Structure 1
Amino acid sequence: MSFVNNDEQFAALFKESIASDYKNALLLVNVSPDVSLFKFRRILENLCLLYAQRHSYEFNSKNLWEQINELAEINAIHGADRELFHGVRELTNDGVHNKELSKEILVSKALVSRTQVLNLLESAYLSFGLGKCIPKYELINVGGQEHKDLWFNCLMSCDYKEYLSLGDFYEKMGEVFESEDFDDKSFTARAQSMYAFAAESYKSAFQLCSKKTITDVISSDDKQVSIAQQSHQILFKYALLCLNHKVDNLQITEITILLSALAKRGFYAAYAYLGWCHYLSEDYKKAHKYLTHKKAEDTVFLFQKLGVLYSSGKACLVNGDKAVESFQTAAMRGCNKSMFELGKIYYKGELVPKDDKLAQQYLCQAIATGNFDAALYLDEKYLKIRELFSGLLDEIKGAKVKIGPQRSCTKTPKLGRNELCSCDSNAKYKNCCGK
């Protein structure tokens, strides 16, 4: 293994010395587990050489056990990694030296080796500081083996599909951390981190697929730029991350350029989002053009924004019927924003005739599906909804409103002992309730 000092060259060496063996080891786990274990052992040997090179150290021994201990002595690896190194060494010894083990046992050892080798590679990635040369990666305790395999496949691959898969995975994890089930600031920060890594993965996938960067598309304002058809979906995913404020990488004008490039190339899924970008930029003529375009895909997003379009009167004349129809279509598909809008529309009675019952129904649905804005909007008159969600409303509004029948404060007049009892027993008070 040649010695290099340049970080980029070292990153390339890291890939080159491990990629082939790792790929073959995975392919052979169930077919020839003994060979798979041999490949994992060779990865371990190469990792030792990489650590030694990174610390400008020459081994005194060719024995793997002694080399691992030498790395520990010069603090190239530490306690946990040292144990992992020895653990993999012991597991792979059986594949290399013990020919009497059954195939089932060898497969089991190969699978354990696979996990431990990946842990070592993750640690090496961080220890070697390869983040500048290899796409970003974060050690997280979620996703399990699927996550590790996706990351490592990207690390070793120049295939855009690997980066696209990793981007999808990170975006999915961001949604998990962002979900309402996790009421913790640390989860919010983790979600932001996941979305940032998703964006980086999509950018890498786009560059590998189109041989251009996203910055190239933006800076050229989509003039005379060829974009590979396979990369349309990648560009779309990246643009939506930015549009939905999952990452703050682009301004609205830059997102508009990306979506416009897709729309011009017949990527119809971009039409509704492009229309909304124009709406946010107050270019209402173009907003109306793309939101109402016959080729725009019928998505929840489209119908929700059409409802806004027809109810606001900014991009076209106000049309209450179309606004309600659009919001209802989105609401039926689970959009709680549209449920909230319908509740307001029927409560105000401005676009359509006022209907308190429907207003209550839609506001109730919006709250039940997690739209707290709907809870804040509730009027005091909607007692039925307040009874159902009183605890939530009290918490949100900071008010302690007591709901339900109130006990009367009227005092019962005191009866004389010889007067008829008030319980309608026709007996004297002293012989009845006054005993």
Structure 2
Amino acid sequence: MQEKITDLVLSLKLSNEIQESYITGLEFITANPDYALQKFREIVEMLVSMLEKKNHLELVTKNLQERIKNLSVCQIISNPLQNQLHEIRKLGNKAVHYSNENSNGGSFIKERKQILTEKAFEARKCLISAFENVYFSIYGCIAAKETEAVAAGQQEFKDLIYSALMTDCYKTKLNAGVMCESIYNEIYADSPLIVSESLALQLKGIENHAIQFYDSACSMSANFDLQFRLGSDLKDKEKIIQNKSDVEALFRFASLSLGKEGLIDKTLSLNRLKSSAERGFVPAQAFLGTYYYAEGEYSHAISYLIKAGDQEEPLALRYLFYYYSEGKACDTNIEKALSFLLRGMELGNADCEALLGIEYHKGSLVDKNDIKARELLEKSIIAGSIIGKNYMILHFNNLAKKVAGEASKFGESLLKIIEERKPKPFRAEGKIPPNSLCPCGSKLKYKKCCKNGVSKKGSEIHLPWI
């Protein structure tokens, strides 16, 4: 038995796949803690699968929480290991897929990133202990007397981009896309409400780079050379991509490119998203469900949302709440709608907590209770919910009314300025010959100007800021 090993070596002793995901999580732990948390949660699923396979357990549910519980009931894992796996799973539920609707308030985006970075390091520490315990559970001995954590957060943007441009490794391409998307979100969060043309072009360029890296990851992970050797017809490469590519690459390409008019064909993006979802990638199922809900295709929406919701996907739980509370897809079922929010809160999702706080403030689905509303919203904000933060600022603190009031005052001032600058018809005190120059100073004949009560002078109004 070794005296000391690193956490990277320990992860490799468990499996190559676990080490690869662990390295990716460590590389992004400071640059994109959301992604790191997602990777750490994926590792928990791998560890649970290893334990199930080792002990010949039949998979009766895909729900990770129930699978961990089942391992404990069967006395395969100890209580400490069970708690560690649950803790990492819950921390992973705090991660979200970014979208423009969530990128409001640059300072809070930075605060949220700091919150999630701390959670990611917490999850990493817990995961190292889980590695040790799973190793002992499988092999009946400890891997080493001490496990040393290597330095994390080493991912440098320029190095990663260079590597991605030079390599044929699809995972490096995928990581480069994630990094570009992370940078896009940070710049977007810091940008003003109305962006300049140069900033808009910068953001568009970064977003395009991310899409291109994801597209390359899709193509390379399909491994056309292998498919050709296996006798596949390469005439329809896109079909091979949808059937054989890495499901995360398909999802990330589709989620970022879907709706980008003139850049990527919508059908192509949607087909890749469907493929990822049908092949069991839970984030794709949730995203596809939200897409169908927005499009009004409710029968498709509910199918994918339920699949993802059963797998503890927070985005799906949020939209299941909308599905049963908004009355668009079906008759409202308040009890059922709220059950999805409560489920999300049990999983540690701050956005679900924020939504319940919002409902207590609105008082439409539950009895109005501003004390509970404030408590839930503040807790969600501390946990990093942008939904909670935005609502607290815009509605709970009546900022919306203040803004509307200021806008109203501005509108009144503008109308007053315009009214003052409107040309006033010239009123002659005596009879003026029709062919004489008009006294208003327009340099037109009186008959073509103020004779009929309409002055041509100052007919163009120029406001000083236009």
| TM value normalised by structure 1 | 0.45
